[in-house]
Chains A and B, each alone.
Chain A
Amino acid sequence: SAVISQKPSRDICQRGTSLTIQCQVDSQVTMMFWYRQQPGQSLTLIATANQGSEATYESGFVIDKFPISRPNLTFSTLTVSNMSPEDSSIYLCSARGPGNTDTQYFGPGTRLTVL
Chain B
Amino acid sequence: SQQGEEDPQALSIQEGENATMNCSYKTSINNLQWYRQNSGRGLVHLILIRSNEREKHSGRLRVTLDTSKKSSSLLITASRAADTASYFCATAFGGAGGTSYGKLTFGQGTILTVHP
Contacts and interface: CB of A to CB of B under 8 A. Distances in A.
Given A45-B103, A45-B104, A96-B102, A102 B31 contact: yes
B116 interface: no
A31 B35 contact: no
Interface residues of B, number: 25
Interface in B1-59: 30-31, 33, 35, 40-45, 48, 50
Query: Majority SS of interface residues in chain A?
Result: strand
Query: Majority SS of interface residues in chain B?
Result: strand
Interface string A43-60: 111001000000000100
B31 A106 contact: no
B42 A109 contact: yes
Given A92-B43, A106-B42, A108-B42, A42 B103 contact: no
Interface of B: 30-31, 33, 35, 40-45, 48, 50, 88, 90, 92, 99-100, 102-109
Given A105-B45, A106-B35, 8 more contacts: A43-B88, A90-B40, A100-B99, A102-B31, A102-B48, A102-B102, A104-B90, A109-B41
Interface of A: 1, 4, 30-31, 33, 37, 41-45, 48, 58, 90, 92, 94, 96, 100, 102-109, 111
